[in-house]
Structure formats: C-alpha cells, structure tokens
Amino acid sequence: MTIPTTADPVRDCALCPRLHDFIALWREREPDWHNAPVPTWLAPEGPQSVRLLIVGLAPGLRGANRTGRPFTGDFAGDLLYATLKKYGFAEGEFEARPDDSLRLKATAITNAVRCVPPENKPTAAEINTCRSFLTATIERFENLEAIVTLGKIAHDSTVRALKGRVAAHPFKHNVATEIDGLSITSSYHCSRYNTNTGVLTPEMFEQVFTSVRRRIDG
Ligand code: SF4
C-alpha cells in the first residue's frame, strides 16, 4: 500500500474499500451531497495561525458527509461551535451550512477518519489507515500548541499519530497529557447521544475549553 503524505486525501481515496463503497452508494442516492473525505477546516489566516487542533471521530452521514465541513449539519456542531465561540476559538454565526459566517480563530478541525463510516463505526484497520492523514495534518501546523480529542477513538489515534503509547496517555475526560511539548486534552464526544444521556453536559464541555484556553494563553 502506498502511504499518503498529504494532509488531505484525494476525493476518491480508496484506501479503505468498505468506506469507498459506502460513499459510492450515497453518491448515487444523494448526488448533491459532498459524499467524499471531509477536508480539515481551519482559520482563514492559514496553517501558520493554527494553535489549537480539534480531532473528531469521523463525518456524520447527514452532517459533514452531506455538507463537506466538519461538524456542520448535524447536532454535534451545535454544542461544539457554541463552545468554541464562547472561548474565542470561533466567531460569526453558525447556521449549520458551509456558507454561513462562522470563522475559526487560530483553530483547525479535522477527523481521525475522513470518510463517513456505516453506523458511525470505523474498523480498527480504517482508523489505522487514515492515520497517515492525521499525522500529516498535525505536522502541517508548525505553531500548534494544543489538541482536543473528541472521544476515545480520536484520542488514541492522535496519541499514535504522535508516536506516543496509548497506555501512557489514556483517554480521560478533561485530562491533559503531553507529547513532545504538545498538550492533548481528551473530551467525551459532543454527539447527540452523549449529551442526551448526560455523559457530556455543556458545562463539562466548557470545562475542557476553559483548560485549553488557559493553556494556550498561559
Ligand atoms: S477513511 Fe481515510 S484512508 Fe480511508 S478511504 Fe477515507 S480518506 Fe482514505
């Protein structure tokens, strides 16, 4: 297998055949949707401006897979972008459309797996395969200071992308660890399921960004 070195996969990336086939199915069903790997979204000032990277799991079928922008079009974006705005990592209005006025500030958002997986469940092989893009994405941001990982899969893949051992840097909500001077804070994923079941409350999510804001400003 050829190991990709670019930070964003090509539109027809077929390194994960199951995900490639799933997207092909949805291209037939919904030809107007994005239906492709979702690229990293970042502050308009460019990669040099990015100090915070948020790593999610994978695009939601009717969210980022439909709209082409991370966390845009389904519930998870409502809490994420409201919180980012509150802590100065975004500005403008989030209207769940890629052409709204929302802008990231010194921040980028990506996913551990760039293609939508059936049932929101990527396989271990797919997570491992897509990690080359995550590694290249992290390397792209020379002034990166902090990463927030949303959920255990995103956290473990980020630790591995940084060549850390997961056992030494375990996922735990609002706990920060450090690899090569880069701070990594884990959070429960801001999915509708987690917020509906009380696994993650808006207050718990805000505590994560309070810590990260302090770390970046400190
Ligand atoms: S998940 Fe990543 S590696 Fe797999 S097909 Fe999509 S872009 Fe390629």
pLDDT in tens, the chain (218 residues): 444 458 999 999 999 999 999 999 999 999 999 999 999 999 999 999 999 999 999 999 999 999 999 999 988 899 999 999 999 999 999 999 999 999 999 999 999 999 999 999 999 999 999 999 999 999 999 999 999 999 999 999 999 999 999 999 999 999 999 999 999 999 999 999 999 999 999 999 999 999 999 999 98
The CA 61 to ligand 1 mean position distance, Å, reads 15
How many C-beta atoms lie closer than 10 Å to residue 211's C-beta? 18
- Give which of 98, 114, 107 is closest to 8, Cα–Cα: 114
Residues at CB less than 6 angstroms from ligand 1: 9, 13, 15-16, 19-20, 37, 113-115, 126, 129-130, 133
The CA 16 to ligand 1 mean position distance, Å, reads 5
The CA 115 to ligand 1 mean position distance, Å, reads 6
How many C-beta atoms lie closer than 10 Å to residue 96's C-beta? 17
Q: What is the pTM of this model?
A: 0.96
